[in-house]
Structure 1
Amino acid sequence: MNCKITVTVLILCLAFATLSEGMSGKSLGTELRCQCIKTESRFIPPKMIGNVELFPSGPHCKDVEVIATLKTGQKICLNPTSPWVKIMIDAIMQNKKP
């Protein structure tokens, strides 16, 4: 009987550890590393882009990251130094100002 209780407690502890590990970091919206490994410089027509997220550099990543979500759902990391991306970021920032 003692063996069954020990095994049950061990399984519950492992399940809790697995669930709590899965909830940390990404699911809470806090990435602890760069999200973009490779960036795209080619022009993407604005009509294909559904959303753009701008992540400033910080302790999680030394680079500014620009992530575009296409209307198809695909996410693409854009090169923040590309001229067309700079123009797009400036336009987004202008629209956010009151």
Structure 2
Amino acid sequence: MNTAIQCIVLLACTIICTPAGSIRCLCVNTISAVDPKRIAGVEEYGLRPYCNKKEVIARLKDGTKRCLDPAEKFTIALVQVFKNWANRAAEMNATSPGTTRSPRTSTTTTMVPTSP
């Protein structure tokens, strides 16, 4: 049998045998808000090949996850807050070698090498 025909048959079998529901969006239902005190983190997903909508998932301190409506003002503000926290953490960790930064103060201490 011709190689091209074999590839077409294999592709058709793969499409037929793959369940349609196995690859889908993570969030089926969304909620408008969650108690901010219970939130440990936020995961934001953009458009993907198998999901054509933006998804925002709040990880709660008890280990559960809640899907938030990405169009809600609460969700937009929550994502912005966590992005700001991540940026601050990245700035704290991106100090130059030989420089330390105390997490409680905004001053920078430079370490001076001592001669032997």
TM range (shorter): 0.5 to 0.7
Question: Per the alignment, in what secondary structure is the counterpart of residue 61 of structure 1?
Answer: coil
- Identity %, equivalent residues: 34
State the aligned residue count: 67
In terms of Rg, which structure is larger? 2
Opposite residue 37 of structure 1, the aligned amino acid is: V
- Deviation of 1:92 (Å): 2.1
Runs of 4 or more off by more than 6 Å in structure 1? none
| Long gaps (5+) in structure 1 | 1-30
Contact 2:58–2:68 (8 Å) recurs in 1: yes
1:46 to 33, 36, 41: 36
- Letter in structure 2 aligned against 1:63: K
Q: Is the 8 Å Cα contact of residues 41 and 82 (structure 2) preserved in structure 1?
A: no
Residue 33 of structure 1 deviates from its aligned partner by 1.7
Out of 19, 24, 30, the residue aligned to residue 33 of structure 1 is 24
Higher RCO (C-alpha 8 Å, min separation 6): 1
Structure 2: segments with no counterpart, 5+ residues: 1-21, 92-116
Give secondary structure in 1 for the equivalent of 2:50: coil
Kindly indicate whether residue 84 of structure 2 is the aligned counterpart of residue 74 of structure 1: no
Where is the helix percentage greater, Structure 1 or Structure 2? 1
Match of 1:55 in 2: 45
